[in-house]
Amino acid sequence: MPPPVGPEVDATPRPLPARIALRGQYAVLEPLHKRHAEELWRAAQGADESWTYLGNGPFPSLAAMTQYITAFATDQLRVAWAVRPVSTGAASGWLSLLDIQPANAAAELGNIWFAPVMQRTRAATEAMFLPLKHMADDLGYRRLVWKCNALNAPSKRAAERLGFTHEGQHRMHAVSRGRRRDTDWYSIIEDEWPSRRDALQAWLAPENFAADGTARRGLAEIRASLAA
């Protein structure tokens, strides 16, 4: 008997994502630029705890944030966006695609920072959905990755809510702010993506929200109904 091997796949390298705007119903993702710094600086005021699990921030001044954003926005190893909720019109966060591997059709959604005003909103959910959809549906990536500090409970909840599957933990994976970091890994793979996409689109549909903005059905409930 020959040794077992994995299934064949289309090994054509996938295109790199371009630095283009991604537009949804509730959020617009604009390629991050230093011109966003002043709006993001205002959004960050009084939000020091929001930086706890990131490698940078809070920033002591607008100049310091501008310096960071300028470097972040021009990093050729990632694609970063500023997030502008339609409801407010003000840039209130950022996110990026990183560890992009065209030959393996894999990429990570990460380095996500949302100001408190944007957290737990439709705009926040859609902002995370748009790059995932772009990579999977438009560019044909087979593996979408989410990684976070194992102590970052909100990030772990967000990954599970979006439909990522927990793959395990890399112990002593990194040093962050002088402290040991264990990292939890999550993924959505190509066989899972259609159900995750359909659930997210159903949750984001305007008819899923009551007049007061409350979701009529949660993402877990929607996923369960689609799987039935």
Asked, for residue 109, whether it belongs to a domain, the answer is yes
Asked, for residue 122, whether it belongs to a domain, the answer is yes
Of the candidates 23, 19, 39, the residue with the CA atom closest to the CA atom of residue 31: 19
The string of pLDDT tens digits covering residues 93-111 is 999 999 999 999 999 999 9
Q: Sign of the CA dihedral 215, 216, 218, 219?
A: negative
Note the pLDDT of residue 171: 98
pTM for the whole thing? 0.96
Asked, for residue 7, whether it belongs to a domain, the answer is no
Q: Higher confidence at residue 138 or residue 226?
A: 138
Asked, for residue 101, whether it belongs to a domain, the answer is yes
Asked, for residue 1, whether it belongs to a domain, the answer is no
Question: How many residues are recorded in the chain?
Answer: 228
Asked, for residue 77, whether it belongs to a domain, the answer is yes
- Residue pointed to by tokens 């972040």: 72
The string of pLDDT tens digits covering residues 128-182 is 999 999 999 999 999 999 999 999 999 999 999 999 999 999 999 999 999 999 9
Note the pLDDT of residue 216: 96
* pLDDT tops 90 at residue 9: yes
The string of pLDDT tens digits covering residues 45-60 is 999 999 999 999 999 9
Note the pLDDT of residue 227: 85
Q: In terms of residue numbers, what domain contains 216?
A: 22-227
Q: How far is CA 111 from CA 6, 82, 134, 146, 184, in A?
A: 32, 12, 18, 10, 14
Instruction: State the total domains in the chain.
Output: 1
The upper half-sphere exposure of residue 10, i.e. CA atoms within 13 Å in the direction of its Cβ, equals 11
- The answer to whether residues 82 and 32 touch, using CB atoms and an 8 Å cutoff, is yes
What CATH code is carried by the domain that includes residue 214?
3.40.630.30
The string of pLDDT tens digits covering residues 108-125 is 999 999 999 999 999 999
The string of pLDDT tens digits covering residues 67-93 is 999 999 999 999 999 999 999 999 999
Asked, for residue 5, whether it belongs to a domain, the answer is no
* pLDDT tops 90 at residue 228: no
The string of pLDDT tens digits covering residues 20-38 is 999 999 999 999 999 999 9
